[in-house]
Structure 1
Amino acid sequence: MTLIRLDGVTKTFSAGGRDAASVTAVDDVTLEIAAGEICGIIGYSGAGKSTVLRLVNALETPTTGAVEIDGVDITRLGERDLRRLRGDIGMIFQQFNLFDSRTVAGNVAYPLEIARRPKAEIRARVSELLDFVGLAEKARSYPEQLSGGQKQRVGIARALATSPRILLADEATSALDPDTTAEVLGLLKRVNDELGVTILVITHEMDVIRTLADRVVVMENGRIIEQGAVFDILSAPRHAATARFVSSIIEDVPTGDDLATLRARHPGRIVTLDVRDGAAAQADVFAAFAAHGVRFEVVHGGINDIGGRVFGHLTLAVTGDPDAVDRALTAASAVTALTEHDPEEEDSHG
C-alpha cells in the first residue's frame, strides 16, 4: 500500500529581486513510498532531496503537482488539519535540535506536551521510549552531558513520541563517527522492524543507503535520475551520478592507473570476474583454474552482501603455462562473465 506519493511535483523558489531568476529545487518529481518501507533519497548538495522532505511534511507547498499521505492530498489541507498531519510524521535532524535547557526526558516529552497529553501518559511514554533507545539511565541528564550518538538517540525518541507512522531523517548520521553511525542506523532499523514505521532517509552517504534502505532514489538537479531496489541499483547503476556514489563504497573493475599498479605488482594475466547473486559460485571458477593447473591471486575488488544477496567483482592475477591459462580462462568464462585486461588498456591512460 502506498503511504507517501508525490505526483508531478515541482517546487520553484524566487531568488529575490525584480530581475532575479527563480530557482527550481524540485523538477517534476513522481515518487511512491510504500507503508513499512525504508526509502533513501541520495544526491549531492543542491539535488533537491531536502526540499522533497519538506514537501512531505508540508513545510513547503509545491508550485505544481500533488503530495499525498495515505491518499489525502495534503496541499489542500487547512492549518488545523496540517497540524494533525504533522503529528503523524516524526522528524530527526543532522544537528539533533535538542533543547539545551531541558533534560533528556524533557526533550522527549516536548511533542506530547504540545499535543496536551495527560501528564501520566507523558511520563509513561517517555519512560517507554527511553528504554527503547537505550537511554533510561540518562533521563535526567542534559544534552551537553551526552555524546553525539546519545543526542541522536534522544532525537529519535522525541520523533517517536506521538507514535507517528512516518519518520523523516534528514542527514541524521552526517555529524557522527562511523561506529556511532552504525549504532544509529541499527536503531532506525529496529524502529522499522519492531514498530512498523515507514522511514524516508535523506543522505549523501551511499553507505547509509546500503546499510539501512530497502529502496533508493537518486536525485540530481531537482530530478529523479534513477530509482529501484538497493541491490539492483548498487549492483548495476545506470546513471553516471549513481555510479559515482556506488564507487565510494564498492570496489569496481580496475582501470587506468589502478590497473597499471596491479600489473606492476603482480605477474601473470589480469582478469576480472563478476560475482552476482544467482550466478555461478566463485568455487566453480576457482575449480576451473585448479583443473588446468594454473595459479591465481585475488588482487582487487570485493564481494558485497545486500539483504542476503551478493554481488561484486574479483580481479585476479593468473599465472602458469600460457596454454593452460588460455584453457582455464575459457573454462571460467563459460560459468561467469570474465574480462581479461589488455596491457594496452593502462597504456592508453598514460
Structure 2
Amino acid sequence: MVKIKLINLTKRFGNVIAVDHLNLTVEHGELLVLLGPSGCGKTTTLRLIAGLENPDEGDIYFDNMLVNDMSPKDRNVAMVFQDYALYPHMTAYDNIAFPLRNRGYSESDIKKKVLEVAEMLGIKELLDRKPRQLSGGQKQRVALARAIVREPNVFLLDEPLSNLDAKLKTQMRAELRKLQKSLGVTTVYVTHDQAEAMSIGDRIAVMKDGKLLQVGTPEEVYENPKNMFVAGFIGSPSMNFIKCIVKLRNGFYVLDCGDFKVNLSYERSREVDILEGEEVILGVRPEDIMILPERSSNAISASIELIEPLRPDMLIHLRIGNIKIVARSLSNLLWKPNDHVSVSFNLRKLHIFKKNGEKIM
C-alpha cells in the first residue's frame, strides 16, 4: 500500500477546468471517498491518479515517487468501473485471470490466485459462467476479484455500486468496507451518493466544479460543514436553509427570520463573527427540529403540511408563515396534516452561513 499525494493538480479540457488546483493526501491503507455531483471532477481525478489522463499542472506522488510520467501499467493500480468492464466472451475465471496472464504468470499460479480470491468473494461456483449469465452483484464481485488478484498498491473505484438495486447496494457497501480493511490497500472511491460516502469512507473529500471544498471524516463533514454546499449536499433530507437578519438585543444576537426569531445563547453569541444588520443564512438539520404541542412556551408556531412515513422515521413538512422546513421525527403518533404545532430548534446544533455560503458558526 502507498500514500497518494496530489499537489496543485489541474486538468483542463478545452476551456473547461475539470480539476482545479487540487491538493489532497490519501494515507496508507485509507479508504478515501471523492464525493460530489456529476461533472465535479471526481472521475477525472481518479483517471489522473491511474495515469489514464495527464495533468496540465501539478504533481502526483505515490509515497515519495513522482509518477506523472509513469505509465498506467507501471503504477500498479487496479480500477473498478461503474459498468464492470468485463469481457463478454470470457468466463468469470478468465476475466479474473486476464491481468495475471498479461504478466506472464504460470497457469498453476493463476489457478491458485483466482481460486483464492474467488473464495474470498464467494464466487467460486460462478467461475464457469460468462457475464451475461451473472446478476449485477455477481458481475461486481467478478470485477472486484479481477482487481484484487493483481495485488495492486492502489484501488480506484469509480461509482462501483451505482447499477445495483437499493438492497444489494447496501449489502455490497458493507462487503466492500470489510474487504478493503482486510486487504489494507489504499483506496480512492468515487460516488455522487452521500449516503454511500458516509457509510464506507474513512474520510470524505467533497468536490464541486473541479475544486476541493472540504476533507474530513464522515462525522466532521456532517457536523461541521465548511460551507452551504457541503451542508446541503451531505444529509438526507438536506439541511433547511432560512434567510435571517442579525439583531442585537441585551448583548445577545437574535436571528430575525421574518416569520419567527431565534435567540442565540450568550455562549453562541460570543462564538460568531457577525454584525448587527447583516443578512445571514440559518442552517438547521431536520433531526435538530423538535415538534411540540401547540402553544408550547418559547417555541415557534407552525402547521403540518405533509407527513412522509419512512419507518421508523417520519419526515414532517412544516410551514411557518411563508417559510417551509422539514423535520425528522421518530414517531407520528400525535400529528397529522393540518395540525397546528410548535417547533423548537436545538440551539447547540445551529449553523450560520454568510450570504456567499461560507460558514460563520
The answer on whether the counterparts of 1:153 and 1:184 sit within 8 Å (CA) in structure 2 is: no
Residues 1:100 and 1:35: Cα distance change in structure 2 (over 3 Å): same
Partner of 1:37: 30
State the 1:349 CA deviation. 3.0
User: Shift of residue 237 of structure 1?
Assistant: 2.0
In the other structure, the counterpart of 2:131 is 143
Check conservation: 1:253, 1:315, Cα contact below 8 A.
no
% same residue: 29
Q: 1:281 — aligned with what? A: none
| Structure 1 or 2: more strand by fraction | 2
Provide structure 1 residue ranges, at least 5 long, that are not aligned to the other structure: 15-21, 257-269, 273-299, 303-311, 330-339
Counterpart check, 1:234 vs 2:209:
no
Residue type of the alignment partner of 2:321: D
- Counterpart of 2:11? 11
SS of 1:167's partner is strand
CA distance in 2 between counterparts of 1:151 and 1:214 reads: 26
Please say if residues 252 and 313 of structure 1, whose CA atoms lie closer than 8 Å, have aligned partners that are also in contact: no
Deviations 1:47-71 (A, max 9, x none): 1111100010111111011011122
Deviations 1:108-130 (A, max 9, x none): 00011111111111000000111
Within-5 A mapping of 1:81-160: 82-85=72-75, 88-160=76-148
Whether the aligned pair in 2 keeps the contact of 1:42 and 1:203 (CA below 8 Å) is yes
2:308 matches 1:349: no
Give the 3 Å change call, closer, same or farther, for CA 83–254 of structure 1 in structure 2.
closer
- For 1:201 and 1:245, locate their aligned partners in 2 and report how far apart those are by CA, in whole Å: 17
Cross-structure match for 1:50: 43
1:193-233 Cα deviation digits (max 9, x unpaired): 21111211111000110110011111111111122111111
- Given that 1:47 and 1:219 are in contact with CA atoms closer than 8 Å, whether structure 2 keeps it comes out as yes
Deviations 1:240-274 (A, max 9, x none): 22223224x25655979xxxxxxxxxxxxx9x9xx
SS in 1 for 2:168: helix
The correspondence of residues 191-230 of structure 1 with structure 2, limited to 5 A, is 191-230=179-218
Q: 1:7 to 1:301 in 2, by over 3 A?
A: closer
Compute the displacement of 1:101 (Å).
0.6
Secondary structure at 1:127's aligned position in 2? helix
| Contact residue 301 and residue 315 of structure 1 kept, 8 A | no
Cα RMSD over matched residues? 2.7
- Give 1:313 shift: 2.5
Give the distance between the partners of 1:246 and 1:44, measured in 2 at CA. 11
Flag the 1:348–1:52 CA change in 2: closer, same or farther, 3 A: same
The letter of the residue matching 2:231 is: A
Asked whether the equivalents of residues 26 and 48 of structure 1 are also in contact (C-alpha less than 8 Å), the reply is yes
* Structure 2 partner of 1:163: 151
TM (norm. structure 1) is: 0.71
SS at match of 1:227: strand
Distance 1:244 1:145 in 2: 41
Change (3 A) 1:10 1:129: same
* Cα distance in structure 2, aligned partners of 1:114 and 1:186: 31
CA distance in 1, matches of 2:183, 2:91: 25
- Say if 2:288 is the partner of 1:313: yes
Query: Relative to structure 2, which stretch is displaced further, 178-187 or 151-160?
Result: 178-187
- Tell me which protein shows more helix as a share of its residues: 1
> Which consecutive unaligned segments of at least 5 residues does structure 2 have?
244-259, 263-283, 304-318, 325-361
Deviation, 1:343, is 4.6
Report what 1:63 is aligned to.
Answer: 56
